[in-house]
Structure 1
Amino acid sequence: MKKRMILISVLILLFLSACGQNTDNGSAGDDTVIKVGATPDGYPQYFYENEKLEGFSVDMIEAIFAEIGYEVEWVVTDWTGVLASLETGKIDTVANFAQTPEREEKYSFTEPYYYSRAALGVAQDNDTIQSLEDVKGKQVGNVTGSNYQNVLKEQDPNDEIEIINYETPDVIHQDVASGKVDAFVTGREILLAQIKDKGIPLQVVGEAFGEKLVSLPFAKTDENEALIAEINEAVETLKADGTFRDLSMEWFGEDVTISQDEQ
């Protein structure tokens, strides 16, 4: 009987000990960790240097969450994987994500942290393409899943431009430079920085077009709505104290955190 009572006591202690453990491998601080999706090759938005993720969006997003006491955990994969992770809830939000009416149906968005403008990139020796008119009837490369395809299509109501989708921008750069594809549609500021700092053998032609808000998307939940309200306050603070402008000037040499209409 005594041995039986001892055994029961041991089992109770083991049960209580198990109840006190965190079975999801997290910690009490996990509520202040935000998982943000990004790609490894999106210079200057995000890129690896000395095994650390760097870039404009990295600096901006980490500044926002530091302002409200959160830590950022970066989850890096290709763009298709980033979108799938957001869809399935494996990450909380995504860096460098344009806010569009279609996406607003699925996600709630913060206030924008910068404004994206699209442009065309062509080979350095290409002098036949100087505007959007010149790519009608031609092939334009686009990274699968990016919003730049939709931005370009807004400028092409008669569907005269053929979009060629690629998994990564590196291959697009090669194909445009070699003449296999006529042009590349992407972010104007991004491509200018890549040409200047990375020696990509392309040139930006024509005017910027299709300005879009770039904001942080979240699943539509009451908890996320409360978080978005906190983020929006941080965005306003960082705009007012000049942090946003300083980071933009550091990475782009111009202020992309305000709309063209405000400039």
Structure 2
Amino acid sequence: MVMLVVCMLGLAACGKSAAGGEEGSKQLVMGTSADYAPFEYIDTATSEEIIGFDVDLAKALGEKLGYEIVIQDMDFSGLITSLQSGKVDFVMAGMEATTERSKNVDFTNPYFRSDISMVVASDGAVQTFEDIKGKVVGVQVGSIQAEKAKELQKEVDFTVETRDRVPDLVEEIKSGRFEGVLMEDVVSKGYIKNNDNLKVISVPNNETGGASIAFPKDSELTEKFNTELAEMKENGEMDQLVSKWFGGVKSVD
């Protein structure tokens, strides 16, 4: 009887893959920060599910490579650390492959690019970039916008404050604590659409390198994902997803 129980437990254990999925399936855990619509976010009016462009793209790539994608939400500033520690298998969060980040993780080729702009109050004191002098500008912790703010401070003197989540940044504009927030154009559009008291102004040197997928150093998955990304761009699947989530915007070449 004891041997029978041991065998049954052994068979039950063998029914799971090393990645935690059922036998015959493989899972990859995707780390993201679900506060960045339309890349990844939760539409609480309909469900608690994380949706968005990155989510659809990750699942499409996973299906092509034979993986089930499991999504884990966390603050943007903790994504790279979670990837390095093995808590997640890869990161998709509209993240740019900066020189500093590339010291710690590997990135795929960029799959989408959007420039940076500044969200301000429609009737506020800031109506041009030069008006931000002496004012407070908000950026997300660890984001490319935080790096861009440092560059812009060389042109106009302003104070930078950070928050973990993008919706918190927007609330600070509404409350009057921030005079502006730096964010990607495609992300700002959603906030402008839903808030008549907000508008977008342009900032100099607003180009970005585009969003890429982050993997642990020397991961074999980096090139596999690169191959599938290139195929999706070639066959039009990428443009279909871009059109779904961003309208007429084109994916990066």
TM above 0.5, one fold? yes
- Of all paired residues, the percent bearing the same amino acid is 25
Task: Name the aligned partner's letter for residue 243 of structure 2.
Answer: M
- Quote the residue 2:192 is aligned against: 195
Measure how far apart 1:167 and its partner are. 2.4
3-state DSSP class of the match of 1:229? helix
- Quote the residue 1:109 is aligned against: 107
- Quote the residue 2:235 is aligned against: 241
Unaligned residue ranges in structure 1 (runs of 5+): 1-9
Q: CA RMSD in A?
A: 2.7
Query: Is residue 132–residue 158 contact of structure 2 (8 Å, CA) maintained in 1?
Result: yes
Alpha carbons of 1:61 and 1:143: their partners in 2 closer, same or farther (altered >3 Å)? same
Give 2:13's match in structure 1, choosing from 11, 15, 22: 22
Give 1:71's match in structure 2, choosing from 64, 68, 72: 68
Alpha carbons of 1:55 and 1:27: their partners in 2 closer, same or farther (altered >3 Å)? closer
The worse-fitting range, judged by mean Cα deviation, of 182-191 and 72-81 is: 72-81
1:214-229 to structure 2, matched below 5 A, reads 214-221=211-218, 224=219, 226-229=220-223
Task: Describe the superposition over 1:130-174 as per-residue Cα deviations: whole angstroms up to 9, x where unpaired.
Answer: 12x332332100122222110222233368232101122223212
Aligned residue pairs: how many?
245
Measure how far apart 1:62 and its partner are. 1.7
Measure how far apart 1:31 and its partner are. 6.9
Alpha carbons of 1:66 and 1:205: their partners in 2 closer, same or farther (altered >3 Å)? same
3-state DSSP class of the match of 2:114? strand
**Given the two structures, how large is their TM-score scaled by the length of structure 2?**
0.84
Structure 2 residue 117 is matched with structure 1 residue 119: yes
- Quote the residue 1:178 is aligned against: 175
Q: Whose radius of gyration is greater, 1 or 2?
A: 1
The worse-fitting range, judged by mean Cα deviation, of 92-101 and 169-178 is: 169-178
- Quote the residue 1:140 is aligned against: 137
Task: Describe the superposition over 1:22-53 as per-residue Cα deviations: whole angstroms up to 9, x where unpaired.
Answer: 38782465873111112232221112232322
Task: Describe the superposition over 1:43-88 as per-residue Cα deviations: whole angstroms up to 9, x where unpaired.
Answer: 2111223232211111122222222222210001232443442232
Alpha carbons of 1:25 and 1:175: their partners in 2 closer, same or farther (altered >3 Å)? closer
Task: Name the aligned partner's letter for residue 66 of structure 2.
Answer: G
Task: Name the aligned partner's letter for residue 42 of structure 2.
Answer: Y
**Given the two structures, how large is their TM-score scaled by the length of structure 1?**
0.81
Task: Name the aligned partner's letter for residue 38 of structure 1.
Answer: T
- Quote the residue 2:147 is aligned against: 150
Alpha carbons of 1:201 and 1:167: their partners in 2 closer, same or farther (altered >3 Å)? farther
- Quote the residue 2:160 is aligned against: 163
Give 2:41's match in structure 1, choosing from 17, 42, 47: 47
In 1, distance between residues paired with 2:126 and 2:7? 75
Unaligned residue ranges in structure 2 (runs of 5+): none
